[in-house]
Amino acid sequence: MNTVKIKLDWIDGLKAFAIIGILLNHAVESFDLMPWFSNPSEYWPSFQERMAIIFPHDGPLYLRIIQFLGWLGDMGPGVFIFVSGITLTLSALNKSLSNPAFYKSRALRIYPLYIAVHLITIFVAVLYFKWKISLFWTPFSLLGLRFTNSLFWFINPSWWFIWLVIQLYFVFPFLLDFLKKRGVALFLSVTLIITLLSRSAGVLGFTFSADMDKWMTGLFGGTRLFEFSFGMYIGFLIQNKNPRLESILNDRIKLPLISLLLYITGFIASWTYFGSVFSIILITVGISGIFYSIYEFVIRRFPLIDKPLLWVGTNSFSAFLIHQSFMKYYSSVLNGYSKVVVIALIAIVSFFAGYLIEKLINRFLPYFLSLYTIITDFFKLKIGFLISILLLVGTSVLSFLMLFGISENSRITLVIFLFHLLYIIFYRFLVKPDLKKSYYRFYDLTLLILVCILFFRGNWLLFYGVLVIFSYLLLLLLIKLNHWYAVVITFVLMILTIGVAELYLKRNQPLEYNSWGELPALQTDDETIYSLIPNKLTHLKYNNYDYFVKTNSNGFTSSEIDLINKKPHEIRILILGDAFSMPEGMNYGYSYPALLEKKLRTHFPEKNVNVINAGVTGYGPNEEYAQANKFLGKINPDIVINQLFINEFEEINLTREERLKDIGLIKSDSVKKSLRVKFQEKGRMQFSIQIPFYLRTLAGRNEQYNYNKSLLYFYEKGSSLYHDSVIVKMNNYFYKMKELCYKNNSELVVLGVPGQIEVSDSEFISYFPKSININDTTVFDLCLPLRIQEELCSQNHIPYLNLREILINNPEQSLYFEKSWHWNEKGHEVIADYLFNFLLEKVREVSKK
C-alpha cells in the first residue's frame, strides 16, 4: 500500500498543473479574452474567422503568449476528471465499499466544503458585490444540481464541475462493477460509444439544451464519461501493477512524445464541430501525460519546487471553488495594472482561504454525519415507501394538468419533478430497498424515465403521466422476468413504441417544431434575407395545412412572365406581402392575387393585366423593402400593393440572424445546423418531439397559449411594441417604400390585414382566449395596430386600405382558418372582390397613359 502511495504523488502534481491552468484561464477571461476552440458553440464564427483568431493578435508578444496559455488552461478540468477516475478506482479496489457507503463518502468529500464556500460567496456577493441572486435557483445550486442552462453557470461559473462529478460519482459503482465483470476492452468500448453519442447529440442538437457549449462542457455527464472511464482504466492497471503501463510511465522519451501527439491532435480536432465530438478525449489524455512527464522527469528533482507544487495540488479543489466569483467582480470594477494585481492576489489567496475553510469544516463534520444517519433511518421506515407513491401520483397528475393546459408553471413543475427524481435516487441507492420485492423494479423504470425527460426532452414533462401508465402496463406483462431484464426490456419497448408513433405522426400529421412548416420551400437570400426557392413545386403538410407551393424562375408563386420586356398595353400590379399573399394554407389558384388577376383580365380583355405575386410567408417590413429594392427596377410595375399584417411592429425589429434562426435557415459550417436543415427538408425527423405536442393539441391548449396565438398582445394599450423608436422605424419604412416606388414610376397602395380576433366570432376561432374579455377597452384596443399603420401612411400620403370593416361586415363567416391566422378560400374571394372594385379606376387611369 505504501509503495502505491509513493508512486501516486504525481496525482497531486497533475492537479497542481491543472488548477494553475484553470486559474490562468479565468484570469485571462477576466479581461474579456475568451477562446473559441475546445468550446463548441452555436455562435462560433465561420471556420476562416476561427483560424484567423486562433492566436491573439493584439499587444506585445509576451502578453499574447500568456493569453494563449490562458486559453489552453480552459482544458484543465479534464485532468481533474481523469484523476478522479484513477483515485476512485484505486480506493475502491483497495477498500471495497457498498454503494450507499461509497455515495456517503463522496457526499462528505464534496458537500460540506462546497456548501460552506457557496454560502460565503452568496453572503459576499449580495452584501458587497450587490449582485441580484435568484432565490428560486439558489437551493438547486447549493445542492450542486446545475442541470439547466440557467443554473449551469449560476453565481460562480466554476461550480458547473460539481454537477458533473455528482453525475460521474453516481455511475461509478456501476462502471467499476462492469469493468471487473466484463473486462477492460468492453468497458472502454461501451464508455467511449456513450461519450461519442452524447457529444454527437450536442453537436446535432438532439438534446434539451439549446446551448451547445454547456452540453458539451458537462451539463450531461455522458459528454465527459470517457475521460473518467479512461482514468478508471489507468487506476485498474496501476492496482494490478501492469508491466506495460509501468514501462510507459517510466519512458522519458516515448511518454512525452505520445502525450504531445495526442494533445496536438485533439487541439487541432477542436477547431471543428465534427472534431469536437472526440477532441476533448485526446486533449485530456494528452495533457495529463504531458503534466505527468513534467512532474516525474523534471519537478521531482527539485524539492523546493516539488513540495509547494504538491501542496497546491492537495488544496486545488477548495481554490477551484473559491476564486472565480471574486475574479468576476473585480474584473468588472477595476482596470489596468491594479486589475492584474488584484486578479493575481485572488488566485493566490484562494489556496490559503480554501485550506482554512476546509480545516474548519472538518471539525464540524461529526455533526453532519449524525444528521445523515437521522435522515436515512427515517426513510427506512414504511413512510418512505408511502412518500414515493405520493410523489409518483403527484408528478403524474401534474403532467396531465400540463397536458390539458390547466397548469403551466414550469418552475414549480421542474422543482416537483426534480424532487421526485432525487427522492428515488436517495431511497433506491442510499437506503437500498430489497430488490427481491418485485414492485421495486418500478423505482428503476421511473428513474430511467425521469432522467431521459430531464436530460433530453424538457417538453416531455407534460407526457410523463402517459409514459408512466404505458410503461407500468408493459412492466406488469413481464412481471415473471428477472428484475433488470424486466426493467430494461420494458424501457426498450417503450422507446421503440414512441419511435414508431413519432415516425407515423411525422409522416401523416406533422407539426411545426423548432422551424417553420414552410422551410422546405425556403432558402437564404443575400438581398432579401430569405426567399422562396425558384422553379420548385413543394408539398407542404403541417399543422392543419396540406397544400402545394409552386414557384417560377424568380421565386414568385404567380405565373412565369418576362419581367424585363414589358409588352405594349401591359399593366403590371406587383403584390408584396407575407403568408396572406403567398398564400399560406392553400394552392395559389384560390388566392386573392390569382382571383384578382382573373377578374381584371375579364374586365379589361384588351389589356394584358399581370398580377405579379411576390408574397412570401413571414415577410415583414425589412424583407419587403429589400424585395422591392431588388425587383421594382426589373418589373416596372404600374401599381404596387404592399400587404401588411398587425405584427409588423414586432417584425421590423428582427435582425437577419434572428429571422433565419427562427425559420431554421441559418447556414454555417456547423455539423449541427447543416444536418438539422437536411432533416427538416425531409420532414424534420428529429426524434421525440411531436408526440407531446400532438397530444397537447388533442387535450386542448391553455389560456396563455390561446392569448399568444390570438396575438392579443398586439392590441394591449401602452404596449412597448408601439414605443416611439418602433413608430419611427415604421414611418421610415413607409417613407422609403414610397420613394422607391416614385423613382420607378409606380403607385404605392398599402393593404392592412387585421387579425382574426378582430373579425371572427369565438365559435370560428379554435384558439379564442375565452377567459379574457377582449372587449375591455381599458386593456385592449382592437383597432390599434391598423390604426397606427393608417396614420403613418396618411402622414406619408400613401393610400391605405384597412380591411377590418370589409371582413367584419361580410355576410358569410368565417373568412379565416379556424386553427390559424390566415384567410380561407372564402376570405381570399372577399379580398379579391374588394381589390377589384378599388383598382378599376386606377387601372383605367394607367391604361390612358
DSSP for 523-568? EEETTTEEEEPSS-EEEEEETTEEEEEE--TTS-SS----SSSPPT
DSSP β-ladder status, 747-752 and 800-802: parallel
As a whole-number percent, the residues of the chain with pLDDT over 90 amount to 56
Average pLDDT, the chain: 87
Q: Is 800 helix (H, G, I), strand (E, B) or coil?
A: strand
- The H or E element spanning position 660 is helix 656-663
**Per-residue pLDDT, 694:** 64
Round to whole Å and give the CA distance between 764 and 784: 22
DSSP 67-110: HHHHHHGGGTHHHHHHHHHHHHHHHHHHS---HHHHHHHHHHHH
**Phi/psi class of residue 694: alpha, beta or left (left: φ > 0; alpha: ψ in -120 to 50)?**
alpha
The span from the CA of 444 to the CA of 794, in Å, is 68
CA-nearest of 613, 612, 615, 624 to 648 is: 624
321 half-sphere exposure, CB direction, 13 A CA radius: 27
Helices 483-508, 690-699: axis angle to 10 degrees equals 70
CA distance 426 to 108: 15
pLDDT of 415 higher than 80: no
For residue range 47-78, list pLDDT tens digits in order.
877 887 788 877 788 888 888 888 888 899 99
pLDDT average, residue stretch 741-751: 96
Looking at the chain, the domain(s) classified CATH 3.40.50.1110 span 519-848
Amino acid identity at 422: L
252-287 residue pLDDT tens: 999 999 999 999 999 999 999 899 999 999 999 999
* Mean pLDDT value of segment 742-750: 95
Distance CA 86, CA 12 (A): 12
Band of residue 431 on the pLDDT scale cut at 50, 70, 90: low
Q: How far is the C-alpha of 515 from the C-alpha of 684, rounded, in Å? A: 9
pLDDT of the residue at 532: 96
DSSP-based three-state secondary structure for 439: helix
Residue 604 scores a pLDDT above 90: yes
Inter-residue contact 278 to 269 (CB < 8 Å): yes
CA distance 450 to 426: 14
Query: SS3 string of 741-795?
Result: HHHCCCEEEEEECCCHHHHCCHHHCCCCCCCCCCCCCCCECCCHHHHHHHHHHHH
Distance CA 144, CA 147 (A): 9
- Per the listing, cell 386606377 goes with 842
Rounded to an integer, what distance in angstroms lies between the CA atom of residue 86 and that of residue 285?
A: 12
What gap in Å lies between CA 197 and CA 191, rounded to an integer?
Answer: 10
Residue 817 has pLDDT above 60, yes or no: yes
Given this model, what pLDDT does residue 688 score? 45
Say which range, 218-227, 506-515, 590-599, 798-807, has the weakest mean pLDDT: 506-515
Q: What is the mean pLDDT of residues 723-742?
A: 95
Q: Which amino acid is at 701?
A: R
Q: Which one, of 81, 88, 83, lies nearest residue 106 by Cα?
A: 88
Type of residue numbered 401: L
Is the pTM value of this prediction over 0.85?
A: no
Residues 6+ apart with CB under 8 A from 146: 140, 152, 153, 154, 159, 160, 162, 163, 219
**CATH number among 3.30.413.10, 3.40.50.1110, 3.40.50.10860, 3.30.457.10, domain 519-848:** 3.40.50.1110
Q: Identify the pLDDT of residue 409.
A: 61
Q: What average pLDDT does the segment 29-36 reach?
A: 78
The reported pLDDT for the residue numbered 744 is 93
Return d(Cα 448, Cα 321) in angstroms, integer: 31
Per-residue pLDDT tens for 213-261?
A: 899 999 999 999 999 999 999 999 999 999 999 999 999 999 999 999 9
pLDDT greater than 90 at residue 107: no
Q: In the structure, what pLDDT confidence band is assigned to residue 2 with cuts at 50, 70 and 90?
A: very low
In 3-state terms, what secondary structure has residue 372?
Answer: helix
Helix, strand and coil content of the chain, in percent to the nearest 5, comes to 65, 5, 30
Residue 533: CB atoms within 10 A of its CB come to 15
**Residue count of the chain:** 849
Q: Cα–Cα distance between 632 and 701 in angstroms, integer? A: 43
Predicted confidence (pLDDT) at residue 797 exceeds the cutoff of 50: yes
Percentage of the chain exceeding pLDDT 70: 90
User: Mind giving me the DSSP string for 695-721?
Assistant: HHHHH---HHHHHHHTTGGGGBTT-GG
- Whether 696 shows a pLDDT value over 70: the answer reads no
